[in-house]
Amino acid sequence: MAVDRERVAAAIRDILDAIGEDPDRPGLRLTPGRVADAYAEFFAGVQADAAEPLAHTISIAHGPAPETQPSGAVMLRDIQFRSVCEHHLLLFRGKAHVAYLPGDKVVGLGALAKVVEILAARPQVQERLGEQIADTISESLEARGVLVVLEATHGCVTMRGERQREASTVTIAARGEFTEPAARAELITLMTTAGRE
């Protein structure tokens, strides 16, 4: 089911009224509809299948170019994402770094970014988001190992409470061979520091 824009707009009118505002004043008259449109975008991943972008794989052994099979991990860094914290419904945003150690299947690099986008477009917590990305890639590609590092800043930290504007959160999710710290150490270095001078 898609986001019910009419219900969202009605709820936003109620919220505006509840905080003491007039939802019919000129500056706010269109706000409920605008928020409904934004929520339709922010939460487009709620009913989406995050594994779907990984459905079109190439067999390493039997594919069109077996001579190009990777001998190590495939990594995509700096995937920009934004999500909504399920605790306060405030945005959090950052970068995802994703690596996998192929079994027999590889996938187009854009598919990895799409998995991140779909799973981020739900009410989330960063820790679960990384785990879901790792599980989706591991299961769909039958990868020998998956590593997901997320770096994000959270509105609930930067905009409320102590307001730590520079604080960021880093989470790591690992599957298969990358559950061993020594096996993932080089990748984490490449994900977070290489080429960052």
Q: Which of 126, 127, 131, 151 is catalytic?
A: 126
Q: Which of 80, 87, 139, 164 is catalytic?
A: 87
Q: Which of 41, 47, 80, 86 is catalytic?
A: 86
Rounded Cα gap, residues 57 and 107, in angstroms: 5
**Phi, psi for 77 (deg, rounded to 5):** -105, 160
Residue 97 annotated among the catalytic residues of the structure? no
Ligand-binding annotation for 88, yes or no, is yes
Residue 126 annotated among the catalytic residues of the structure? yes
Q: Which of 117, 131, 132, 154 is catalytic?
A: 154
Rounded Cα gap, residues 56 and 111, in angstroms: 9
Residue 47 annotated among the catalytic residues of the structure? no
Residue 87 annotated among the catalytic residues of the structure? yes
CB 183 within 8 A of CB 177: yes
Ligand-binding annotation for 156, yes or no, is yes
Residue 88 annotated among the catalytic residues of the structure? yes
174 sits in which H/E element: strand 169-176
Ligand-binding annotation for 97, yes or no, is no
Q: Which of 21, 52, 69, 88 is catalytic?
A: 88
The CA-atom distances, in angstroms, between 143 and each of 12, 137, 159 are: 44, 7, 39
Q: Which residues are catalytic?
A: 85-88, 126, 154, 156
- Which parts are annotated binding residues for Zn(2+)? 85, 88, 156
